[in-house]
Amino acid sequence: MSIQDVLKTMKDEDVQYVDVRFTDPRGKLQHVTLRHTEVDEDFFEEGFMFDGSSIAGWKSIDQSDMKLIPDPASVYIDPFYAEKTLCVHCTVVEPDTGESYDRDPRGCAQRAEAYLKSSGIGDTFYCGPEAEFFLFDDVRYAVTPNKVAYEIDADGAAWNTDAEFEMGNLGHRPGYKGGYFPVNPSDDGQDIRGEMLTTMANMGMKVDKHHHEVATSQHELGMIFGTLTEQADNLQKYKYVIHNVALAYGRSATFMPKPIKGDNGSGMHVNMSIWKDGKPLFAGDKYADLSDEALWFIGGILKHAKALNAFTNPSTNSYKRLIPGFEAPVLRAYSARNRSGCVRIPWAESPKAKRVEARFPDPSSNPYLCFAALLMAGLDGIKNKIDPGPSSDKDLYDLPPEELAEIPTVCGSLREALEELEKDMDFLLAGDVFTKSQVEGYIDLKWEEVYAFEHTPHPVEYEMYYSC
């Protein structure tokens, strides 16, 4: 949409409010709501001032004035507010210079797209994330000096086969790790997922499918691929819709990667391809019908995987998913169709569908930073012709110990990921896509999470050590 298109839509739809939205460094969507009378052509061109010092990891209070520049191409009508509200995603700029603020995640994504074009390698980066999530009916947790605990429940969970319900227990539930594709009544999420997907389609998002996932109470909706910034915007809308439709059903949605002990965690596989002059750069005559550029792109992903983990797997909880035995892509290997490595080449009949799938990211990530970092690692691979080595076309989950020891892994903790990023960030700084200040500020934020986690006693430690 152009600015004039947006203003016409506001008039035609009788919009009463405009919700100005942006994303903080941790990936949380933030907003402020304006009366429609405050929104005109000047608003879109001049932006909206706000206090950047109130956002963790951004400005100090003596430099707190910042400006939000709305992107008219990102507008949509909010389906959840009682008053007709138009939403718009924004990029953060410095008010005195108008330049993109280096710590703004959306601005970083836009710089990554600009860098791709300036590199001459390609002009368009497509990505298709597959973000999984859990739905629960009851969630309680406590972190106090004398109590650290959580408890979750879902009526359709495998552990409720003998639970007593007021209307009786009807017994139709998928077992542990048995949730992949059963029909109702075992799959109790059909209607809620359908409403989520319809809501997204009504908001203008391109969507295609939904289904129950492997783990207890785990689900996934399908988004059709798009360009980097566009798709990061869409993932923010995806999370927003899922949280709010779940709330309307009296349920709670979470994108926390590993909320259930002993069951599969939620990943966010990211399908990626680069195009140039309307042609797919990744199609060729090499392994799995890939081009040299696609293989070098994989080489960059594998080389920088541990530094990437700080953006693709940015929570302490992420590393409770990235462990062997739960379909977790912990091994830095690639192959065609094989889902046990951290990079897969999905089967595709058409050269246009040829793509690379990173399987280690998870949905706790900030999508703007996650997608931008993956692109920068892949571009570094192409620029330096990084050989990914031989493919791994056997089941990596079932390798004998001596073979398994030969394959490098991704990080085992957020602490390790931050330490790796501190050592390996130069590939991100090319073209000023990421800045050193931005990366260091992000690392500082994440160290706070590491310390909070490491300094808090865990219930399992009581089980193991209380009577020692």
Question: DSSP letter at 88?
Answer: E
123 flagged as catalytic: no
220 flagged as catalytic: yes
41 flagged as catalytic: no
Q: Is 267 annotated as a binding residue?
A: no
269 flagged as catalytic: yes
The CB density around residue 162, as the number of other CB atoms within 10 Å, is: 7
Greatest CA separation for the chain: 71
Look over the chain and give the mean of its residue pLDDT values, rounded to a whole number: 94
Catalytic annotation, pick one of 213, 233, 362, 420: 213
Q: Is 208 annotated as a binding residue?
A: yes
pLDDT reported for residue 63: 74
pLDDT reported for residue 327: 67
Q: String of b and e for 201-218 (b: at least 16 CB within 10 Å)?
A: eebebebeebbbbbbbbb
419 flagged as catalytic: no
Q: Is 264 annotated as a binding residue?
A: yes
463 flagged as catalytic: no
Q: Is 419 annotated as a binding residue?
A: no
Residues lower than pLDDT 70 in the chain: 325-327
Q: How far apart are the first and last CA of the chain?
A: 66
User: Domain residue spans in the chain?
Assistant: 3-101, 124-465
SS (H, E, C) 136-192: ECEEEEEEECCEEEEEEECCCCHHHCCCCCCCCCCCCCCCCCCCCCCCCCCCCCHHH
359 flagged as catalytic: yes
Let me know how long the chain is. Answer: 468
Catalytic annotation, pick one of 21, 269, 355, 415: 269
- Tell which CATH architecture fits domain 3-101: Roll (3.10)
pLDDT reported for residue 399: 78
CATH 3.30.590.10 for domain 124-465, yes or no, is yes
pLDDT tens, residue by residue, 329-359: 999 999 997 777 899 999 998 999 999 999 9
Q: Give the CA distances from residue 169 to residues 157, 173, 174, 183, 189, in Å, rounded to whole numbers and listed in that order.
A: 12, 10, 14, 18, 17
Catalytic annotation, pick one of 71, 102, 130, 233: 130
132 flagged as catalytic: yes
pLDDT tens, residue by residue, 54-88: 899 897 777 778 999 999 999 999 999 999 999 99
193 flagged as catalytic: no
Q: Is 213 annotated as a binding residue?
A: yes
Catalytic annotation, pick one of 132, 188, 380, 420: 132
Catalytic annotation, pick one of 339, 393, 424, 440: 339
CA dist 417 and 27 (Å) reads 18
CA dist 169 and 276 (Å) reads 57
Catalytic annotation, pick one of 102, 357, 362, 420: 357
Torsion of CA 365, 367, 372, 378, to 10 degrees: 70
Q: Is 359 annotated as a binding residue?
A: yes
Instruction: List the beta bridge partners of residue 219.
Output: 133, 212
260: which 2 tokens?
Answer: 């259930």
Q: Is 21 annotated as a binding residue?
A: no
CA dist 357 and 129 (Å) reads 9
pLDDT reported for residue 402: 83
